[in-house]
Structure 1
Amino acid sequence: MRNVEYVVERVRVERHVSRSAVRQLLTEHAEYGGWELTRLRRYRDGTRDIWIRRKIIRVSPSL
Structure 2
Amino acid sequence: MRQEDGYEYVPLHLPRELNRVTASMRLAIQAEFGGWELSRVRAYTDGSRRVLLRRKAVSDQATSEAGI
Q: Which band: TM-score by shorter chain?
A: 0.7 to 0.9
Partner of 2:25: 24
C-alpha distance in 2 between matches for 1:13 and 1:22: 7
TM-score by length of 1: 0.84
1:12-57 alpha-carbon deviations (Å, 9 max, x no partner): 0110001000000000000000000000010000010000001013
C-alpha distance in 2 between matches for 1:57 and 1:28: 19
**Unpaired segments of 5 or more residues in structure 1?**
none
Q: Which amino acid aligns with 2:25?
A: Q
Query: Aligned residues: percent identity?
Result: 35
SS at match of 1:52: strand
SS at match of 1:28: helix
TM-score by length of 2: 0.78
Larger RCO (CA within 8 A; separation ≥ 6): 1
**Unpaired segments of 5 or more residues in structure 2?**
64-68
SS at match of 1:49: strand
Greater Cα radius of gyration, structure 1 or 2: 1
